[in-house]
Structure 1
Amino acid sequence: MSDTTPAALALTEPKIVTDAVVSKLQGCEGVSEAAVIEIEGRIHAFITPDTVDVQLIEKQLASELDEKLRPASYNALSQMPYTLRGRIDEGALETWLKGIKSTQSTEHLLAPPRVHIKEVRSGSTASSSSLSSIYSGHGVQDRASWDDYLESQLPNKVQPKPVRNLRYIGLIIYRRIFSVIFIANMIPFLLLLIKGTDCPTLATACSINLLIAICIRQDNVVNALFRIAGWVPRSWPLWIRKNAAKVYHLGGIHSGCAASATFWFGFLVVQASFDAFRTSPLDSTRKTISAATLGVAYVIMLLFTMMLSFAYPSVRRRIHNQFEQVHRFSGWTVLILFWILNFMLITDYTAPNASITRATLKTPGFWCLIIITISIASPWMHLRKVTVIPEKLSNHAIRLHFNYRQNPVPGSFVRLSDTPLMEWHSFATIAVPDRSGFSVVVSRAGDWTSKYINSPPTRMWIRGVPTRGVMNVAHFFNSAVIVGTGSGIGPCLPVLLAAKNNGIKVRVLWSTPKPQETFGDEIVNGVLAADPKAIIWDTRAHGKPDMVKLVWGLVQESKAEAVVIISNPALTKKVVYGMETRGVPAYGAIWDS
């Protein structure tokens, strides 16, 4: 039998010793995880959770371990730090233990989270210090309060089921806007159908609707509408601000006018079909509408029908890339053909001796087409290929850094592509205060994203200007609960980083698999810097929680005025419905394009 002393063993075979101590610690009552590090011949123990009775554990190990193998300190943590490879980060534990201030890079967003520590040997009952990493599956807040949220009963919804389903599902603001616009168009449509009209009048009605439908989607117009809505002071009553925050439903204007334009053009095609057989009242030698004009009208009608069919919500969701391509190429073709049709109609309806130029300048459709063309072309005037600095966060996510412009407004997005004519993808901008440029987080969600995670790009196409989206409405409130799942934390992060400067009190709920391993320290630390008590729920470790209950618990605890969520369609609708039917304003993407 070896006569090696425990002290010598600690120096010659530290791994065996520390493993033995870890094994003893894990056998103690209430210990979830344990780690041991050896510094200058002394062993230091770390255990989770921080509710464990460390005095009892110390007493138990005193009877089971030789005196020289007993830990010099017992440190209870709310969570164990992990490296990106999923191993306990001993460097982070040692850094804290030595009392060395975190040497976190200045390139990181914010300071790391705070962790509660109990130092037994020193006699201190509780102290706080910074660790350089976040702890998978938990925030800093006591887990017991989360359990209270999940175990509590949600209050009853405030309206009968038929009423609330009609209001919050069937007739959301988007659909109400669509309905108002469509009905407003159908009233004169039916009157003209009964009374009778001509093709130039119908072309004008169609052009006006197309003008509104296209301009309402223009980047600068969208930003202007968000700015106007954001002018409502936060001191004003909540009912005013919560309705102003519905500004992101402006897509209802786009779809309402586009659908109406298609109906008006259908009317024009029918009218032109009859006029093609009638003698022109201006020239008895020809028909009211020429065969060429009628042929162009039928081609435009076919393209309109294709665009409207592909834009139907269920079709759009199923084949979104094809929807975008049909919308883009058919739209450009329609624009060109509409210019041709406009001049053809002017020619058909102008007397032989009259001035075509004067007739053109008096035609409303001509001026509408000029504005429409400028609106469609303007984002492409900002098309550029820019340098990208990739930062691979994990096998499931990558962060792309851009430095070609100043910080975008929190809650805005940009469009990126590698094939500008074929497909574009929108990503929320992450702007860091006092740092130029921005970044986006790309999470694995299909072939396009997988390609760039596997082979990070160094150059990409970008179009238009950063455009405000649903996350921007968080600025309309004094306090808000921000909810994100997976890479949905990307759109939330710039709002969280700017919340303090903007005077917004935020609580955060982020549900995602392996947050630190997938997205890295910087993003997770940014979340906790905005809300030190953020709930960061590791779905890989704990499964998927009842998000409605967790959100409701945070709303009640923080007295938040609103909830903003960035998640998948199903969960977004569930949370928004669950909050709004209980009287809490809630906002989430509506996938209207």
Structure 2
Amino acid sequence: MQSPIRFSSCRGVAFGSKLPHADPFAIKMPTGDESPASRSIFSLGSSKDYPFSIQRSISKTSSHFCDLDLDHEDHDLEVALERNDEDKQRKPALPLLAAQKKDSRLSIILLDQGLLTVYKRLFAVCLILNITGLLLAATGHFPYARSRAALFSIANILALTLCRSEACLRVVFFLAVKILGRPWIPLALKTATTSLLQSLGGIHSGCGVSSIAWLIYALVLTLKDRENTSPEIIALASIILGLLCLSSLAAFPLVRHLHHNVFERTHRFAGWSALGLLWAFVILTISYDPETKPYKDDFGSRLIVQQEFWFTVAITMLIILPWLTVRRMAVKVYAPSGHASIIKFEGGVRAGILGRISPSPLSEWHAFGIISDGQNEHMMLAGAVGDFTKSLVSNPPSHLWVRRMHFAGLPYLVNMYDRALLVATGSGICVFLSFLLQQCSADVCLLWVAKGIEQNFGKEINEMVRGWPEEKVIVHDTAVLGRPNVSQLSVDAARKWRAEVVVVTSNPEGSRDVVIACKAAGIPAFGPIWDS
């Protein structure tokens, strides 16, 4: 008997697959012998519209949470195998199905939604531009860059910081929606803008590698002309280079995927240390006189006219700003089931906004979609998939550290479109619920696939979904109806509702397959990417 193939995600969802189909969500098409109940849609929608999409599970029902007791699952599988052996003595043996080759999670990350995505193109463009500048400087065709190589390294650090500044991105996303969120704006321009804003991490990564390259070049030039500089400046540049390399290595996909906490802490503390040393480097470099050798005390007037100084000021402000909004706040946490928790805060929040919470602000931060009616309160739905989210269920805290500066992501750009289909699996629904609770510029329809809707997510979440017009919602409970072909279901729902765009929140495999299926059908689609 073939073992179930499981796909899990840090986003709080997981899929199981037992049959060898190309699509991890795919199931066998229902036949005419199946009962009507097996082809209906839980509470909403019509089986006549989607007769192919749903059937009762013929294997162990999949879960949309990553915290399932795997030992218990293995035990169930062993029992099933034993029963199967007994059945073999009474039934003729069936031919074994060929094992499906499952993509590794790392390959999903590296090939996330395609080989030449906008993210990878932006990374390549940044790298090519910087390498071209380096070659021109090295060959004497760019004398300004040759004499100011450290400045180019600092400029790249400023650019990568801008691409990750939640305050700046909140403004950029707001302006994009305000300017482009009009019916007469071409859809192609809207989708291109969405692709660009979703993939700014490519610029962040490209500038990070480029800053290292420029600093290496600056250090080589300095070592060749060490008589005109000080050992302290060389030492500082060398330590900063080491910290930048360490930070970049920690962000490598393999390390980041397998050891996320290591990546987060290394990235944070190495970055802060490099920033502090950068200030010392800039001050010493500007105050050092290569002719008289000593450092000058009256460097203030020279400092404020140097580009390096102002770039460093901007970097410092961008890094400090989010931390100025960190507060320890009282929260209400309750768990509708052992698989998820709901965290409630005071104050309303606009649809599509995300927030960060932490049990220990210097060690880890966790981002969640925000559910709010825009009035008095907002909440987060956290699937119990890791140590922190599991502790919210087992030991609900009375206070959490919160960044009061919420940030905008892909869901916020739904406001740019006239008609959008929102596809969610498991606890991914949380990022879309605000569109159902408050008035938004976009006309949205919802497709939600999850296991045990009310049992796992609670009555409150279930009622939020039920409150939306029935003709605009499809809810598929896998505990009752089995696993659907989510990709095909998304394509048909988008066509039925004439959606301009499909936005999906699922695990990496699920998001990838829905996006690829929709694009193949000529429907613009976006899902969370690995470094979005």
TM norm structure 2: 0.77
Is the 8 Å Cα contact of residues 435 and 444 (structure 2) preserved in structure 1? no
Is the 8 Å Cα contact of residues 112 and 530 (structure 2) preserved in structure 1? no
Q: Please give the alpha-carbon distance, in whole angstroms, between the structure 2 residues aligned to 1:198 and 1:474.
A: 42
2:185 corresponds to: 236
- Percentage of identical aligned residues: 29
Is the 8 Å Cα contact of residues 380 and 464 (structure 1) preserved in structure 2? no
Q: Please give the alpha-carbon distance, in whole angstroms, between the structure 2 residues aligned to 1:375 and 1:482.
A: 32
> Which of the numbers 338, 344, 349 marks the counterpart of 2:284?
344
Q: Please give the alpha-carbon distance, in whole angstroms, between the structure 1 residues aligned to 2:511 and 2:38.
A: 33
Q: Please give the alpha-carbon distance, in whole angstroms, between the structure 2 residues aligned to 1:167 and 1:328.
A: 25
How far off is 1:200 after superposition? 6.0
Q: Give deviations 1:99-147, integer Å, cap 9, x for gaps.
A: xxxxxxxxxxxxxxxxxxxxxxxxxxxxxxxxxxxxxx71322234322
1:513 corresponds to: 451
Q: Please give the alpha-carbon distance, in whole angstroms, between the structure 1 residues aligned to 2:396 and 2:476.
A: 28
How far off is 1:517 after superposition? 0.5
1:324 corresponds to: 264
What aligned pairs does 1:355-504 form with structure 2 within 5 A after superposition? Answer: 355-403=298-346, 406-433=347-374, 435-498=375-438, 501-504=439-442
Q: Please give the alpha-carbon distance, in whole angstroms, between the structure 1 residues aligned to 2:218 and 2:477.
A: 58
Question: Partner amino acid for 2:46?
Answer: D
2:45 corresponds to: 141
Report SS of the residue matched to 1:445: coil
Is the 8 Å Cα contact of residues 228 and 291 (structure 2) preserved in structure 1? no
How far off is 1:347 after superposition? 3.2
Instruction: Flag structure 1 segments of 5+ consecutive residues without an equivalent.
Output: 1-29, 33-47, 52-77, 79-136, 152-164, 277-286
How far off is 1:248 after superposition? 2.2
Q: Please give the alpha-carbon distance, in whole angstroms, between the structure 2 residues aligned to 1:526 and 1:262.
A: 49
Report SS of the residue matched to 1:148: coil
How far off is 1:518 after superposition? 0.7
How far off is 1:173 after superposition? 1.5
How far off is 1:535 after superposition? 2.1
**TM-aligned CA distance change 1:361 to 1:350, over 3 Å:** farther
Q: Please give the alpha-carbon distance, in whole angstroms, between the structure 1 residues aligned to 2:443 and 2:270.
A: 46
Question: Partner amino acid for 1:253?
Answer: I
Question: Partner amino acid for 1:248?
Answer: Q
Q: Please give the alpha-carbon distance, in whole angstroms, between the structure 1 residues aligned to 2:445 and 2:47.
A: 15
How far off is 1:187 after superposition? 1.5
Q: Please give the alpha-carbon distance, in whole angstroms, between the structure 2 residues aligned to 1:31 and 1:250.
A: 48
Is the 8 Å Cα contact of residues 138 and 538 (structure 1) preserved in structure 2? yes
1:528 corresponds to: 466
**TM-aligned CA distance change 1:363 to 1:31, over 3 Å:** closer
Question: Partner amino acid for 2:218?
Answer: L
How far off is 1:149 after superposition? 4.7
Report SS of the residue matched to 1:295: helix
How far off is 1:334 after superposition? 0.1
Q: Give deviations 1:466-486, integer Å, cap 9, x for gaps.
A: 111111121111111111111
What aligned pairs does 1:264-279 form with structure 2 within 5 A after superposition? Answer: 264-276=214-226
**TM-aligned CA distance change 1:388 to 1:201, over 3 Å:** same
**TM-aligned CA distance change 1:349 to 1:552, over 3 Å:** farther
1:213 corresponds to: 160
Q: Please give the alpha-carbon distance, in whole angstroms, between the structure 1 residues aligned to 2:396 and 2:221.
A: 55
* Alignment RMSD: 2.6
Q: Please give the alpha-carbon distance, in whole angstroms, between the structure 2 residues aligned to 1:31 and 1:259.
A: 57
Report SS of the residue matched to 2:221: helix
> Which of the numbers 222, 229, 232 marks the counterpart of 1:289?
229
Q: Please give the alpha-carbon distance, in whole angstroms, between the structure 2 residues aligned to 1:413 and 1:211.
A: 24
**TM-aligned CA distance change 1:531 to 1:200, over 3 Å:** farther
> Which of the numbers 518, 521, 529 marks the counterpart of 1:582?
521
Q: How many residues align?
A: 437
How far off is 1:443 after superposition? 0.8
Q: Please give the alpha-carbon distance, in whole angstroms, between the structure 2 residues aligned to 1:588 and 1:198.
A: 39
Report SS of the residue matched to 1:535: strand
Report SS of the residue matched to 1:409: coil
**TM-aligned CA distance change 1:178 to 1:50, over 3 Å:** closer
Q: Please give the alpha-carbon distance, in whole angstroms, between the structure 2 residues aligned to 1:349 and 1:171.
A: 48
Is the 8 Å Cα contact of residues 417 and 423 (structure 1) preserved in structure 2? yes
2:487 corresponds to: 548
Is the 8 Å Cα contact of residues 480 and 504 (structure 1) preserved in structure 2? yes
How far off is 1:255 after superposition? 1.7
1:248 corresponds to: 198
Q: Please give the alpha-carbon distance, in whole angstroms, between the structure 1 residues aligned to 2:470 and 2:365.
A: 36
Q: Please give the alpha-carbon distance, in whole angstroms, between the structure 1 residues aligned to 2:291 and 2:305.
A: 14
Report SS of the residue matched to 1:217: coil
How far off is 1:181 after superposition? 1.9
Q: Please give the alpha-carbon distance, in whole angstroms, between the structure 1 residues aligned to 2:37 and 2:404.
A: 49
1:37 corresponds to: none
> Which of the numbers 155, 180, 188 marks the counterpart of 2:125?
180
How far off is 1:420 after superposition? 0.7
